[in-house]
Amino acid sequence: MRPSDKKLVAFPGAAPPARERDPRIDVFRGIALLMILVDHIPGNPYEALTIRNFGFSDAAEGFFLMSGIAAGIAYSGNIERWRDGRGSIGAAGGPIWRRAWTLYLVQLFMTLWALAMFAGAAQLFVQPDLIEQHNISRMFETPLAAFPGLAALTYQVGYVNILPTYIVLLLVTPFVLRAGLRAPWFVLGAATLVWFAGGGRAGTCPTVPAEAAGSSARSPGR
């Protein structure tokens, strides 16, 4: 047997070969990230060239779409084995939920870092109005409400409010993928309805503290 043929042999119970990354997805995700960066720098000349000026979504939603496709490619094999009774829900959803946990810790770190950075800048440059920007003041005005909100991802600081939506979507990804393997058109229709519903007030989740400005809306990049 040639060495190149060994990878074609499958043994009972053996782990399936890892699926190769599709570089096209990485390219489009990179373009989306670049557009997100441009959109977050007001007044620059490249802002008029991003997708939000031409389509019905912005770059953040495009990034979510590409990430969903990548998750389907990476994890659908484990989900299919779970569906067929050849694997457990832990084996199927474990890698996805561990990823969500990692991103949760990243979100906490980024939020605390943003709070410290703005507070430090306000003190260093004697600009107390910096605390009033991007929903930061709520942490200093109502800390007893803000800290539980921070842990529950309901208290969000401007420019650090994309990962909570991503984390929630990862938590339900195993169940959505399993449903998609069984009834893909039903899942597509349900996702479309959720997308349209998220465009109105019904798609806006309140923050904690309740009086805080901003929300975790359908379009986190705006």
Which pTM was predicted?
Answer: 0.78
pLDDT on residue 213: 45
pLDDT on residue 134: 84
- pLDDT, averaged in runs of 10, over the chain (222 residues): 42 50 87 90 87 82 88 90 90 94 96 92 86 86 89 88 90 94 92 79 60 42 42
- Is the backbone peptide bond immediately before 209 cis, with ω within 30 degrees of 0? yes
CA distances from 50 to 80, 120, 168 (A): 37, 33, 26
C-alpha to C-alpha distance for 12 and 183, rounded to whole angstroms: 28
Question: HSE on the CB side for 206, CA within 13 Å?
Answer: 5
C-alpha to C-alpha distance for 83 and 86, rounded to whole angstroms: 8
C-alpha to C-alpha distance for 118 and 122, rounded to whole angstroms: 6
Whether residue 162 contacts residue 222, with contact meaning beta carbons closer than 8 Å, is answered with no
pLDDT on residue 151: 92
